[in-house]
């Protein structure tokens, strides 16, 4: 195989590139994170664990895992509320009908400019719509450390998708002084019932209620510092598109060029396990299948990292 790749005629290489670009055009709309909503928390399953991620629709970049998400409260009478971000997965993420639950793991915390503090008069109520006293809410954030409050459990739809926007409402339930302006942090987790999937790592919403940009930036940075791995996201592999050198021996040479593309195309055409780079979520997690998603994923890496590796 090494000789065939190393000495492939320009015409053969051109044919491969033409086929690759055609498949890229056909598969792009199906592979580029279909169905993910702007600003929502991306819900996935990685190694049998519910895993949350952050999706940037402007760049198409998905960071998985991710643990801290910003939210912006709007006036609601004497209170403040938002139903963004929501939680969103791709189709076939879960078996249809799988109950997916949300737990509240810690008291609401307020950013005082140096640290998150608890014990204030505010609490968050979560509901599936406007605040009611019925089965759709509210569920209140706990008041004591070490107490987990069960939230809502909602089934994945018939397509295996979980998509839900809860209403988060900030109350001052202790006195009549109103809501303090600033940033608030709420710790949560997601689980599946029955527990065939592992519960997610803890994650946080950082809410702004008239917080300044600096306050939100500092609060989010503080939350990220407490998150697993310092905020999330796998450590990037240096120059991931660099697969080989001119010898076509599979030893990276520190340069991304046409040799790497030709080498990957050879792997992909032969359905080599080494060509399995991602699944339909385009999260860089191999799914055991070599298809156009892998080709599209590699071509994106190759196009974005031409030349010498940093």
% of the chain beyond a pLDDT of 90: 35
In a shared domain, residues 15 and 112: no
Residue 103 has pLDDT above 80, yes or no: yes
What pLDDT is attached to residue 4?
Answer: 38
Structural domains in the chain (count): 2
In a shared domain, residues 25 and 131: no
More confident: 269 or 26: 269
16 within a domain of the structure (yes/no): yes
What pLDDT is attached to residue 43?
Answer: 92
In a shared domain, residues 99 and 201: yes
In a shared domain, residues 120 and 221: yes
133 within a domain of the structure (yes/no): yes
Over range 254-269, report the average pLDDT.
Answer: 90
Over range 39-51, report the average pLDDT.
Answer: 88
What pLDDT is attached to residue 113?
Answer: 92
What pLDDT is attached to residue 90?
Answer: 86
61 within a domain of the structure (yes/no): yes
What pLDDT is attached to residue 11?
Answer: 43
36 within a domain of the structure (yes/no): no
Highest mean predicted confidence (pLDDT) among 28-42, 46-60, 145-159: 145-159
Q: Helix (H, G, I), strand (E, B), or coil: what is residue 4?
A: helix
Instruction: Note down the domain range covering 244.
Output: 2-31+237-308
Residue 5 has pLDDT above 90, yes or no: no
What pLDDT is attached to residue 8?
Answer: 41
Distance of alpha carbon 156 from alpha carbon 89, whole angstroms: 9
pLDDT tens per residue, range 171-222:
886 665 678 999 999 999 999 987 778 999 999 999 999 999 999 999 999 9
Q: What's 156's domain CATH number?
A: 2.60.40
- Residue 273 DSSP symbol: G
In a shared domain, residues 108 and 225: yes
In a shared domain, residues 169 and 265: no
In a shared domain, residues 14 and 136: no
Lowest mean pLDDT among 170-174, 254-258, 275-279, 293-297: 170-174
In a shared domain, residues 128 and 75: yes
Q: Which two tokens stand for residue 229?
A: 């791995």
Distance of alpha carbon 13 from alpha carbon 5, whole angstroms: 9
What is the residue whose two structure tokens read 């509210």? 138
What pLDDT is attached to residue 30?
Answer: 31
- pLDDT confidence tier of residue 39, bands split at 50, 70 and 90: confident
Q: What is the average pLDDT score of the chain?
A: 80
Q: Which two tokens stand for residue 220?
A: 């989010």
220 within a domain of the structure (yes/no): yes
In a shared domain, residues 166 and 141: yes
**Final residue before a domain boundary, out of 212, 230, 248:** 230
In a shared domain, residues 25 and 47: no
Over range 54-73, report the average pLDDT.
Answer: 80
Helices then strands (H, E): number in the chain?
5, 19
The answer to whether 167 touches 131, Cβ cutoff 8 Å, is yes
Residue 254 has pLDDT above 80, yes or no: yes
261 within a domain of the structure (yes/no): yes
What is the residue whose two structure tokens read 């993910």? 36
**Final residue before a domain boundary, out of 201, 230, 259:** 230
**Final residue before a domain boundary, out of 180, 207, 230:** 230
How far is C-alpha 144 from the geometric centre of its chain's CA atoms? 29
The answer to whether 190 touches 102, Cβ cutoff 8 Å, is yes
Distance of alpha carbon 306 from alpha carbon 239, whole angstroms: 10
% of the chain beyond a pLDDT of 70: 77
Q: Which two tokens stand for residue 75?
A: 């006036």
What pLDDT is attached to residue 18?
Answer: 43
In a shared domain, residues 103 and 204: yes
Over range 143-158, report the average pLDDT.
Answer: 89
Q: Which two tokens stand for residue 254?
A: 């520190």
In a shared domain, residues 139 and 66: yes
38 burial type by CB count under 10 A (0-12 exposed, 13-18 middle, 19+ buried): exposed
185 within a domain of the structure (yes/no): yes
Cβ neighbors of 137 (< 8 A, separation 6 or more) are 125, 126, 127, 128, 129, 131, 152, 167
Residue 32 has pLDDT above 70, yes or no: no
Q: What is the enclosing helix (H) or strand (E) of 68?
A: strand 68-72
49 within a domain of the structure (yes/no): yes
Q: State if pTM tops 0.75.
A: no
Distance of alpha carbon 127 from alpha carbon 140, whole angstroms: 9
What pLDDT is attached to residue 137?
Answer: 57
- pLDDT confidence tier of residue 226, bands split at 50, 70 and 90: confident
What pLDDT is attached to residue 239?
Answer: 81
């Amino acid at each position: 195989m090494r000789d065939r790749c190393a000495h492939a005629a320009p015409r053969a290489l051109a044919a491969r590139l033409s086929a690759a670009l055609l498949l890229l055009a056909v598969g792009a709309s199906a592979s580029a994170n279909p169905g993910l909503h702007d600003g929502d928390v991306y819900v996935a399953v990685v190694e049998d664990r519910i895993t949350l991620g952050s999706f940037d629709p402007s760049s198409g970049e998905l960071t998985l895992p991710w643990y801290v998400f910003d939210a912006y409260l709007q006036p609601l009478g004497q209170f403040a509320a938002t139903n963004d971000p929501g939680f969103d997965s791709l189709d076939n993420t879960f078996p249809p009908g799988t109950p997916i639950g949300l737990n509240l793991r810690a008291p609401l915390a307020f950013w005082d400019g140096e640290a998150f503090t608890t014990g204030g008069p505010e609490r968050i109520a979560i509901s599936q719509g406007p605040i009611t006293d019925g089965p759709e809410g509210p569920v209140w954030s706990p008041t004591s450390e070490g107490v987990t409050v069960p939230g809502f459990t909602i089934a994945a739809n018939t397509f295996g998708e979980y998509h839900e926007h809860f209403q988060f409402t900030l109350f001052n339930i202790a006195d009549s002084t109103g809501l303090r302006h600033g940033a608030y942090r709420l710790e949560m987790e997601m689980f599946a019932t029955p527990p065939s999937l592992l519960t997610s790592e803890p994650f946080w919403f950082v809410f702004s209620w008239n917080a300044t940009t600096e306050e939100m930036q500092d609060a989010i940075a503080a939350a990220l510092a407490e998150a697993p791995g310092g905020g999330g996201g796998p450590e990037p592999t240096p120059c991931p598109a660099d697969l080989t050198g001119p010898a076509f021996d599979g030893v990276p040479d520190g340069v991304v060029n046409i040799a790497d593309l030709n080498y990957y195309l050879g792997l992909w055409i032969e359905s080599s396990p080494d060509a399995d780079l991602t699944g339909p979520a385009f999260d860089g997690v191999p799914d055991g299948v070599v298809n156009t998603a892998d080709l599209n994923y590699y071509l994106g890496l190759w196009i974005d990292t031409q030349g010498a590796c940093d």
